Amino acid sequence: MTDFLDINTTPPEALRSIIDNALAMKSARKGQPKGTPDAEQPLANHMVALIFEKPSTRTRVSFDVGVRQLGGQTLVLSGADMQLGHGETIADTARVLSRYVDLIMIRTFEEQTLVEMAEHATVPVINGLTNRSHPCQIMADIMTFEEHSGPIKGRKVVWSGDGNNVFNSFAHAAGQFGFDLTFTGPPTLDPEPGSLDEARSRGVNVTIERDPAKAVEGADLVVTDTWVSMHDPASARERRHNQLRAYQVNEALMARAKPDALFMHCLPAHRDDEVTSAVMDGPNSVIFDEAENRLHAQKAIMRWCLGV
């Protein structure tokens, strides 16, 4: 049984296989209607539970569509449906679900919920997001970069903004895929030191640069994310805007990167806050390819977990 919990805990050769398989499956579907089943149906007769303690658009739709294209069926459950960890322990929920389904994807808040689910489930578990990491998103980002710009190994990726869960997964990926990573943002929103140290221990250059203009010099990829989470209280919004305003990705900032540098954002975006519309809709932006590639990357992850 194979879980996909984090990029840094998945073997590099498996990560490369997932990316290559995702690219191949996307190519094979080119020009087909979205509802057309894949030529291979490796999830036929498989049931996949999709658990959403935290709401989602891209994660829910991409996993649901992906399972169907691969020939399987989905059971979508919200936190309200399950009251996960409240009326019943997570361990018992994991044991029960394992009797009904072949694979579990969970999008939750606390990392410990994911860990307990994986520890007690007897079917594979996929991390759809926690407050600490977002590995499926970064697998789609790696796929998107290589689709447009070739191998990511040895390239420079710059993250501007909040050192959040998505950044943590970028740090995990830097160590596994061998690219350099620069974080630029205020000290109050620095990423977890452990994520940076682990990537450095794998031989890649991971730096913090407070000056965003200096940080993006020579960048092959510039990435940002929302300044405020959907669950942040109103009182936090103004404070975060004040802290992060200098780190907005705009045309002037992108001009400091390489001419062919890509721009990514995992979406949803607050246009003209963390990034200007001119950059989002500009020639260097690949945000909608990035969003589409969640589908293909996650299909490859599910196949890897199930060995099919």
β-bridge mates for residue 126, sequence order: 4, 105
CA distance 13 to 300: 14
Cβ pair 88, 98 in contact under 8 A: no
Name residue 25's amino acid: M
Cβ pair 304, 21 in contact under 8 A: yes
Name residue 231's amino acid: H
The candidate with the shortest Cα–Cα distance to 208, out of 183, 173, 171, 172, is: 183
- Does the reported pTM lie above 0.85? yes
Mean pLDDT by 10 residues, the chain (308 residues): 95 98 97 96 98 94 98 92 80 97 97 97 98 98 98 98 98 98 97 96 97 98 91 78 96 98 97 98 98 98 98
pLDDT for the residue 1 = 74
CA of 261: how far to CAs of 49, 182, 264, in Å? 38, 14, 10
Name residue 263's amino acid: F
Name the residues annotated as catalytic: 107, 134, 137, 225, 266, 294
pLDDT for the residue 230 = 64
β-bridge mates for residue 78, sequence order: 52
CA distance 28 to 208: 40
To the nearest 10°, the Cα dihedral for 66, 69, 72, 77? 40
CA distance 81 to 12: 36
CA of 228: how far to CAs of 37, 74, 199, 240, in Å? 38, 31, 26, 7
The candidate with the shortest Cα–Cα distance to 239, out of 146, 299, 162, is: 162
pLDDT for the residue 238 = 84
User: Under DSSP, is residue 170 helix (H, G, I), strand (E, B) or coil?
Assistant: helix
